[in-house]
């Protein structure tokens, strides 16, 4: 893979990760042609907090979520979604217990009803 198409997140330091997030936020804010003060006010945080975030400094997670919401970027949260998945072994067990054919026996639906004939 080329350097542009793959980022080795594991080898990055926490500081580098925060800087990457900050650049992401700043990039999208500028793409939307929105000032820091405007975004910060809409997010309910101070402009200095947004500035810290964009520089990769420490801010709290709640601030990031508020900024993502204001910039209409909450879709990035999809990577945190946990979907119920069934393991291949569990699926095979379910398939094994599934009825494959009818037994051919017909049971009387009301065995206690005496028609008196």
Q: How many CB atoms lie within 10 A of CB 9?
A: 9
Could you give the number of structural domains in the chain?
A: 1
Structure-model confidence comparison of residues 82 and 101, the more confident one: 82
Asked if residue 24 belongs to a domain, the reply is: yes
Distance CA 45, CA 37 (A): 9
3-state secondary structure of 107: coil
Q: How far is CA 1 from CA 16, 24, 50, in A?
A: 21, 22, 34
> Which band of pLDDT confidence, cut at 50, 70 and 90, is reported for residue 89?
confident
- Integer CA distances (angstroms), 84 to 75, 81, 87, in order: 20, 10, 10
On whether the CB atoms of residues 39 and 16 are closer than 8 A, the answer is: no
Query: What's the pTM?
Result: 0.67
Residue 52 lies in a domain: yes
pLDDT tens track for 13-46 = 999 999 999 999 999 999 999 999 999 999 999 9
Question: Is 62 a domain residue?
Answer: yes
- For the domain that residue 17 is a member of, what is the CATH number? 1.10.260.40
Domain of residue 71 covers 9-80
Let me know if residue 63 belongs to a domain: yes
Q: Report yes or no on 28 lying in a domain.
A: yes
For the chain, what is the radius of gyration of the CA atoms?
Answer: 29
Alpha helix segments (H runs only) across 1-117: 14-31, 36-43, 47-54, 61-70, 88-97
């Amino acid at each position: 893979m080329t350097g542009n198409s793959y980022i080795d997140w594991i080898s990055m330091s926490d500081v580098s990760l925060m800087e990457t997030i900050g650049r992401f936020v700043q990039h999208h804010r500028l793409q939307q042609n929105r000032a820091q003060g405007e975004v910060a006010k809409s997010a309910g945080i101070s402009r200095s907090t947004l500035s810290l975030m964009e520089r990769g400094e420490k801010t709290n997670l709640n601030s990031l979520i508020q900024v993502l919401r204001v910039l209409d970027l909450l879709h990035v949260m999809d990577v945190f979604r946990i979907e119920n998945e069934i393991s291949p072994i569990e699926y095979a067990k379910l398939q094994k217990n599934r009825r494959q054919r009818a037994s051919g026996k017909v049971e009387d639906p009301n065995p206690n009803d005496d028609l008196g004939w």
